[in-house]
Every structure is written in C-alpha cells, then in structure tokens.
Chain A
Amino acid sequence: MEKKHFERPIIKKLQTGMPNKFGMKTEYEPISEIDGVSVKDLVANYGSPLYVMSENTIRETYREAHRAFSTRYPKVQFAWSYKTNYMNAICNIFHTEGSWAEVVSGFEYDKAINNGVPPSKILFNGPDKSEKDLEKAIKHGSYIHIDHFDELYTIINLTNKMKERPKVAIRVNMDCGIYPLWSRFGFNYENGEAWEAINRIMLTKKIDFVGLHCHIGTYILAPWAYGIAAAKLADLAVAIEKKFNHYIKYIDMGGGFASKNTLKGAFLPGSDTCPTFDQYADAITTALINSPINHEHLPVLLLESGRSLIDDAGYLVGTVLANKRLPEGKLATIIDIGVNLLFTSFWYDHKVTPAQQFSHHTEDTIIYGPLCMNIDIIRENVQLPPMKKGDNIVISRIGAYNMTQWMQFITLRPNIVLVDSKSKAHVIRGNETPDNIMKNELVPEHLKKFEL
C-alpha cells in the first residue's frame, strides 16, 4: 500500500467573533512555476534565494499602461524610471517597447547611454546633478529637469562657457489635495516660486525651456490628485504662452501610480484597492484636454511610471531554513530571504506562497529572514500552511526597488534571472562572490599581522 503524504501535525484554536491580526487564509494554490519554468528547477539551477523577472509580464503591463493613455491623448511618451529597476536587461525591455529613460544620477545617466538610449531621449531628474553631469547632459542634448535655484544658476553659468543651449524643464511641487504633500522636489506652485523660476529661465534667453514636470508622491491611490496636478501644470503652460509667446514641448506627470501590493496596515488587499491605469489616464488626460491649452499646441504627455510597471513582474524565490515555536505558541518560519534582499517588506505585506502542494490547514505564522537582526521580519502575521525545512516559497510583486535598494549584508547577493516569452531562463545579474565584495578593501600595513 502506498504511504500517505505526511503533513506536519497542526492544531489551531478556533476563534469566533472578532477577526484576529493574522487575518484570513490567503493562499489557495501553490506557485510551482513562473512563466512555464518550474520553481524547483530554477532553485536547482540558479540557487536560493533567487530573483526571477517575467519578460511577458513586463511587456503586457507596459502595453496596458500605454494603451490606457494613448487611447485618450494624442501624444504620449513613457520614460523608464531607472531607479525602480536598473538591471540593463530590464531597462532594455522597456526601451524595446519604446520607452525613453528617466534617470536621477550621473551613474544612471551613464547606464542609459551604455544601454544605447539616444541622449536626446533621456530625462535627467533628481536633486543631485553635479556640474560635470550637467555639462554632459547639456552637451548631449538631454532634457534636464531643474530641482532648485542652485541648479538653475549652475546651468546659467555653464551657458557662459558652452556653445550648446541647455534643454530644461522645471520640477513643480504643489498641493493636489492629498496627504502627504511632497514639497521637496522642485519649485512650489502655490507660492509663486515655480513661476519665478520660469521667468528667470525665459529671461536668460540662453536656455531652451521645453517642459513642466511634477512628481506628486508615491503609491497614490487617488487618481483625481493627478487631475489637479495636470490642471495646475496646464495653467503654467498657458501663462508661459501668454507672457512669452512660447509653447512648451511636454508636460511630465512623473510617476507614483500604485502597484497591487498591499501596504502595511491596509484593511483591504492592494489588488482590490489599487486604481487601474485607465483611472489614472482618465484623470490626467481629461484635465489636459479640458484645460485652456491651445489645442493646436498640445504638449506631449510624458510619464515616468516605475513601480506600477514592474512590481508584478518580479518574484523572489526562497527556501525554508527552519521552523520554530515561539513561547506564545506562534509558529516562526525562517527563510533564506532577509530584509536586505526585500527592502519593500518594510512597506508592504508581501504575498508569500508555498511552491509545493499544501492542504487547506493553516497556522498563525511569523516569517523571519536569515539575518542575525531583530528587525529581519518578512511577514509579521500571516496564515500559512505547514511547511518544512527545504520547502520553497515564492514572494510575489517584488519587481520594483528591491534590485536597486538591496543591501549586501553578512552574505552575498544572489542571481537575478529573466524568464523570456519562450520560457527560457537567462541570468541577467550573476550572484556575488567574496572577491566582488573584498576587492575594494585595503588593510594598512600595521594591521596585517596579529597573534591570538
């Protein structure tokens, strides 16, 4: 007789009335494959933990977003937000779809150039652009989004020694009726600072003023806030036309669209509350089309979405290292994925799914990472089926920020694999070796020898 499958024995207290902090069971099916590639094979071939990116999901999400805007507005251009995920292979997927590059540092600027993006299709954002960075961007004809007056005056000074005319936009912050109000990027709309910056630029006559930019926040769940922002930028565009008889080329609405991840403390899952691309597109394009901007000179609508385009395409595959019982009876499952590899676990209650078959029984579980740090918690309260040492788990929607904000801490960073549309896996960033980490270290002569 064939022996039965052994599931670790579990006992669960039944509670009626008030829901508890562990919530309801969320996982019903295992994630045993990603785009046709078995999770077990991925781990066997590329190790655990392992980042897995889905090319299909990136392309489908991009096309969905582009369609939402391009069916409502005649001139739409996306620019891939490098800081969200600047693995070259990932950037190039967006570039092959037609995306420009949006960069926020000299390092990212060089990365975009190395990827083959024409300099005239790079938007240079961010508060930290060195004089050298600005000089390079001016020389190559990239669009510079000015963040503060110090940067503006650096550019004005550069125009005295360079023959090229800088192409600039200004970053504008404003009250869009939402909290928190992001006032740190660019010039304020309400107090007239933005208008003052525009006047200074226009009066130099040495700079091409091409656009207006805003970045109203991140994970914005209120599409109408973008409508308010677009209307305010349109008002500035009309004022520029009236005073200087000058038409700007583009209005850039930045990024900040929410992804389907669930924010910590949220009552409902992000997949139920996250607005669709159509809702964001509707708010923005309606505001622009209904604005007093001359319809013969409609500016290009630029979008720098990052998180909403890439989050769903990323998975982090890991392995259960151990189970232990905490004194209060709660089960602690330790996995090989720490917060250093999953930075977004500080903001999100990530979806964690076993990679192998499981029964309908669950336990109140806390998921710890492998770091020897008390803060290393991947999920604080989650209902999960019993898993044993060596089982695999898949954490979903991790494509944004984790591969750029990750930290090398006490161990080495793992492989990143891209699964293409033909279910073929490609390593797009190899795992680190001790040499990668230690090659830049130097030990002074007097510290080289010691006796213990």
Chain B
Amino acid sequence: MKLKKKIAVSETGFIFDPTTGDSFSLNPTAAEILNLLKDGKNEKEIKKVIMEGYNVDESTFERSFLDFMAMLRLYNMIEEDEKN
C-alpha cells in the first residue's frame, strides 16, 4: 500500500496526478496522512503519528483512515503491495 510515485503532493494540501491531469484538494488531516504515505509509512506508523498529534480515539481514526484510503483507491492513487 503505497502512494504512486508520480503523484505530486504539496504541503498545503494540493495533489496533482500527471497521468490523468486531475488535481485534488485535501484538508489538513488528509494532507498530513498523505505526506506520511508518500514517505513510505505504513498504517501502523501513520496511526501512531496521528494519534500522538491529534485528539482522536483509535476507532475513529481507523474508520476515517479506511474511508480515506478507499477514496485514494477510487482516484487510482495507490499501488497495492504485490503480496496483497
């Protein structure tokens, strides 16, 4: 589960996908998660960072994270691990 290499992410929350020409906006939480994904962090590591920095419980984070990942898949931004 990695962000596709060609996807460009700005720190302020804009995404550009050069393969489709589409651009997207993110809210601050999404921008932080996406930058962690870009740095190659896995779900466990992302959860740790977010739960340390934000006022959120584990189940709320997990539900939100799953939903967000589903949207990234919908927009074809994720490369799944081969073993998956």
Contacts and interface: CB of A to CB of B under 8 A. Distances in A.
Size category of the A interface is 10 to 19
A87 to B, nearest CB: 39
B29 to A, nearest CB: 4
A12 interface: yes
Contact of B54 (A6, A329, A388): A6
A189 B56 CA distance: 68
A156 B15 CA distance: 78
A11 B75 contact: yes
A11 B25 contact: yes
B72 A11 contact: yes
Interface of A is mostly: loop
B15 A11 contact: yes
B71 interface: yes
Interface of B is mostly: helix
B60 interface: yes
Interface in B1-54: 15, 22-30, 33-34, 50, 52-54
B60 A388 contact: yes
Interface string A1-39: 001111111111110000000000000000000000000
Contacts of A388: 60
A140 interface: no
Contact of A329 (B28, B34, B74): B74
Contacts of A3: 52-55
B34 to A, nearest CB: 8
Size category of the B interface is 20 to 34
B55 A6 contact: yes
A325 interface: yes
Given A3-B53, A4-B55, A388-B60, A9 B26 contact: yes
Contacts of B29: 6-9
Interface string A308-348: 00000000000000010100010000000000000000000
Given A10-B30, A11-B30, A325 B70 contact: yes
Given A4-B53, A323-B67, A325-B67, A14 B33 contact: no
Interface in A280-324: 323
Interface of B: 15, 22-30, 33-34, 50, 52-56, 60-61, 64-65, 67-68, 70-72, 74-75
The 9 closest A-B pairs by CB, nearest first: A9-B30, A6-B56, A361-B27, A6-B54, A3-B55, A9-B68, A9-B29, A8-B64, A329-B74
24 contacts: A4-B54, A6-B55, A6-B56, A6-B61, A8-B64, A8-B68, A9-B67, A11-B26, A11-B30, A11-B68, A11-B75, A12-B24, A12-B26, A13-B22, A13-B23, A13-B24, A13-B75, A14-B23, A325-B71, A329-B74, A359-B27, A359-B28, A361-B25, A386-B27
